[in-house]
Amino acid sequence: MDNKPSFDRSIFIPIFIGFFSVLGICLVLIASRLTMTRGQGVTTDTATSMKYQYLATEPGVVFPTEAASPTEPPATSFPTFDLILPTSTLFGFKSPVPTISRATSVGPPFSTNTPTPSISPTVQFLNVTYDDADFKFLYTGNWASQSVADAYQKTLHVSSTIGDSVQLSFVGQKIRFTYQAGPSLGTIAIKLDGVDFSLEQAAPDTVIGGWESPVLVLSSHLVTITHISGGSINIDSIAVLDLSTPTPTLTATP
């Protein structure tokens, strides 16, 4: 039998090859590092001296800055604008408001010689006529509006049911109640401030009739008209009269 060595020496061959490969790579890298040249920047001399600006990268640290040299150009300045505030409050600041003084020895300013008309204080109420369709009439019951050519404002309010009524409050001294009279018409009751009056609207011909109240005290009054009997009745208008001052008077004040 052949005597073979207990350790195989051929295993050292790949180890030596790997070691020398790594060593060769390191030598190549070192040689390239040594032979590498750095890029050199071109510098140009200037008339302005160099300054160093410190950067405060830590909070609360402030570095002093170098004073500007006399050769440096002046800092850029921005134009300033004058702010003219109106005579009012702006951003909480009040600007003075000019006042016009008035001399006591001279008449009121801007006075003219043009007379100014003024209404006499004796005028209290004016005459007015309320049409049957006016909102001041308060109708109760079954009333119907009809168009009539001869009526005031060409309208009438007609009631065919006994018990229908209408009210009107006014200020004046007298009222003139107008209606359309005609055959087969009924009877109405007029209550003025608690005083009762009766009026027949029946007539041989169809005409516009009227009824006037007695003279009243110049104050507020209430009139109520009620359909009490007969055929249909109607309302045309009520005129409120102010007998104290029929027309206003104007006087010129210099």
Q: What is the CATH number of the domain that holds 137?
A: 2.60.120.260
Q: Is residue 170 part of a domain?
A: yes
Could you tell me the residue range of the domain that residue 193 belongs to? 129-241
> What is the H or E stretch that residue 129 is in?
strand 128-131
Non-local CB neighbours of 246 within 8 Å, separated by 6+ positions? 127
Tell me the pLDDT of the chain (254 aa) as tens digits: 556 556 667 777 888 888 888 888 888 888 887 876 555 555 566 565 555 555 555 555 445 555 555 555 555 555 554 545 444 444 444 444 444 444 444 444 444 454 444 433 333 446 899 999 999 999 999 999 999 999 999 999 999 999 999 999 999 999 999 999 999 999 999 999 999 999 999 999 999 999 999 999 999 999 999 999 999 999 999 999 988 754 444 444 44
**Identity of residue 2:** D
Q: For 158-195, what is each residue's pLDDT tens digit?
A: 999 999 999 999 999 999 999 999 999 999 999 999 99
Read off the tokens for 4: 């073979």
What pLDDT, on the 0 to 100 scale, is given for residue 2? 55
Q: Is residue 223 part of a domain?
A: yes
Q: Which residues of 239-252 are buried (b: 16+ CB within 10 A; e: fewer)?
A: bbbbeeeeeeeeee
Q: For 4-22, what is each residue's pLDDT tens digit?
A: 556 667 777 888 888 888 8
Q: Is residue 98 part of a domain?
A: no
Q: Is residue 40 part of a domain?
A: no
**HEC-encoded secondary structure of 139-190:** EECCEEEEECCCCHHHEEEEECCCCCEEEEEEEECEEEEEEEEECCCCEEEE
Residue 155 and residue 213 in contact, taking contact as beta carbons nearer than 8 Å: no
**Identity of residue 182:** G
CA–centroid distance for 190 within its chain = 49
What pLDDT, on the 0 to 100 scale, is given for residue 195? 95
Q: Is residue 167 part of a domain?
A: yes
Three-state DSSP at 17 gives: helix
Residue 184 and residue 218 in contact, taking contact as beta carbons nearer than 8 Å: no
What pLDDT, on the 0 to 100 scale, is given for residue 105? 43
Q: Is residue 158 part of a domain?
A: yes
**Identity of residue 37:** T
Residue 163 and residue 189 in contact, taking contact as beta carbons nearer than 8 Å: no
Read off the tokens for 63: 């570095």
Number of independent structural domains in the chain: 1
Q: Is residue 117 part of a domain?
A: no
Q: Is residue 20 part of a domain?
A: no
